Structure 1
Amino acid sequence: MRKKRLLSLALVAALSVTMLAGCGGKKSTESETNKDGSDKVKITLGIWPGEDLAENIPTFEGYQKTMQKLHPNVTCDPAPYTYATDTFVSLAQSGNCPTIFESWFTEPQKLIKQGLIADVTDELKKRGWLDDMNDNIKGLLSDSDGKVYGVPRDAYGLGLMCNVELFEKAGLVDENGVPKFPKTFDELAETAKKIKEKTGAAGLCLLAKDNSGGWHFSNIAWNFGAKLVTDNGDGTYTSNLNSKEAVAAMQYVSDLKWKYDVLTADPTAEDWGTGFQQLGTGGAAMYIAANDAVAQPTQTNGLDVKKLALGAMPAGPNGDQYSLTGGTPYMFSKDATPEQISAAFDFLEVMGKAPEANDTTIKGMEADAANRKQNGVPVIQTFPCWTNKEYVDANNKVVEEYSNVDTAMFQQFFDAVNKEGNLHTEEPGDAQEMYAQLTNVLQAVITNKDADIQKLMDTANSNYQKTLDSEFKKN
Structure 2
Amino acid sequence: MVTITVNGMPPKTQPVDRKYFEDDVKAFEKTHPDIRIDAREGFMDPKTFSAKLAGGQLEDVYYVYFTDPAGLIQRRQGADIAPYLKDVPYLQDIKPEFMKVFTGPDGKVYGLPNGQYSMGLVYNRALFQKAGLDPDKPPATWDEVRSAAKKITALGNGTVGYADYSKNNQGGWHLTSWIYSMGGDVAVKDGATWKAAFNSDAGRKSLQMLHDMRFTDNSMGTRQLLEIADVQKMMGSGKLGMYMAGPDNIPTIVKQFERKYSEYGVAAMPGSATLGGGNGFMFNPKATPEKIKAGIAWVQWKYLNPDREEFNSKRASGDGVPMGLPLDRLFDGAAQEKNDAIHAKYANVPVENYAPFVERNGQLEQKVEPPNAQQIYTVLDGVMQSVLTKEDADIDRLLSDAEQKVDSILATVK
- 1:443 pairs with 2:399: no
Identical aligned pairs, as a percentage? 25
Compared CA separation, residues 376 and 470, structure 1 to 2 (3 A): closer
Q: 1:404 — aligned with what? A: 348
User: Do the aligned partners of 2:313 and 2:342 also contact (CA within 8 Å) in 1?
Assistant: no
- Structure 2: any 5+ residue segments left out of the alignment? none
Distance 1:282 1:85 in 2: 39
Distance 2:171 2:67 in 1: 15
The TM-score with structure 1 as length reference comes to: 0.72
Compared CA separation, residues 67 and 224, structure 1 to 2 (3 A): closer
- 1:217 pairs with 2:175: yes
Distance 1:101 1:275 in 2: 33
User: Do the aligned partners of 2:194 and 2:410 also contact (CA within 8 Å) in 1?
Assistant: yes
CA deviations 1:378-411 (Å, max 9, x no partner) are: 4145565345x55334323312321334433122
Query: Secondary structure, in 3 states, of the residue corresponding to 1:216?
Result: helix
CA deviations 1:177-204 (Å, max 9, x no partner) are: x355234334434433544544535433
Higher RCO (CA 8 Å, separation ≥ 6 residues): 2
Give the counterpart letter for 1:366 in structure 2: F
CA deviations 1:101-151 (Å, max 9, x no partner) are: 443323210121233333332332353665454433333212222221111
Q: 1:464 — aligned with what? A: 406
In the TM superposition, what are the counterparts of 1:89-168 in structure 2 within 5 Å?
Answer: 95-125=56-86, 127=88, 131-167=92-128
Give the counterpart letter for 1:220 in structure 2: W
Q: 1:44 — aligned with what? A: 6
- Structure 1: any 5+ residue segments left out of the alignment? 1-37, 316-320, 355-360
Query: Secondary structure, in 3 states, of the residue corresponding to 1:79?
Result: strand
**RMSD, aligned α-carbons:** 3.7
User: Do the aligned partners of 1:379 and 1:402 also contact (CA within 8 Å) in 2?
Assistant: yes
Q: 1:351 — aligned with what? A: 302
- 1:414 pairs with 2:364: no
In the TM superposition, what are the counterparts of 1:19-34 in structure 2 within 5 Å?
Answer: none
Q: 2:270 — aligned with what? A: 314
The TM-score with structure 2 as length reference comes to: 0.81
Q: 1:29 — aligned with what? A: none
In the TM superposition, what are the counterparts of 1:38-437 in structure 2 within 5 Å?
Answer: 38-39=1-2, 41-46=3-8, 48-50=9-11, 53-72=14-33, 74-81=35-42, 88=49, 95-125=56-86, 127=88, 131-167=92-128, 170-172=130-132, 174=134, 178=135, 181-196=138-153, 197-198=155-156, 200-232=158-190, 234-263=191-220, 267-271=224-228, 275-276=231-232, 278-280=234-236, 282=238, 284-291=240-247, 295-298=251-254, 303-315=259-271, 321-334=272-285, 336-354=287-305, 362-368=307-313, 370-372=315-317, 374-381=319-326, 384-387=329-332, 391-419=335-363, 422-426=364-368, 430-437=372-379
Give the counterpart letter for 2:311 in structure 1: E
Q: 1:4 — aligned with what? A: none
Query: Secondary structure, in 3 states, of the residue corresponding to 1:181?
Result: coil
Higher strand share: 2
CA displacement at 1:376 relative to structure 2: 4.8
CA deviations 1:138-179 (Å, max 9, x no partner) are: 3321222222111112443321112335545x44564xxx35
Query: Secondary structure, in 3 states, of the residue corresponding to 1:182?
Result: coil
Query: Secondary structure, in 3 states, of the residue corresponding to 1:45?
Result: strand
Compared CA separation, residues 140 and 363, structure 1 to 2 (3 A): closer
User: Do the aligned partners of 2:123 and 2:243 also contact (CA within 8 Å) in 1?
Assistant: yes
User: Do the aligned partners of 1:118 and 1:331 also contact (CA within 8 Å) in 2?
Assistant: yes
Q: 1:22 — aligned with what? A: none
Query: Secondary structure, in 3 states, of the residue corresponding to 2:119?
Result: strand
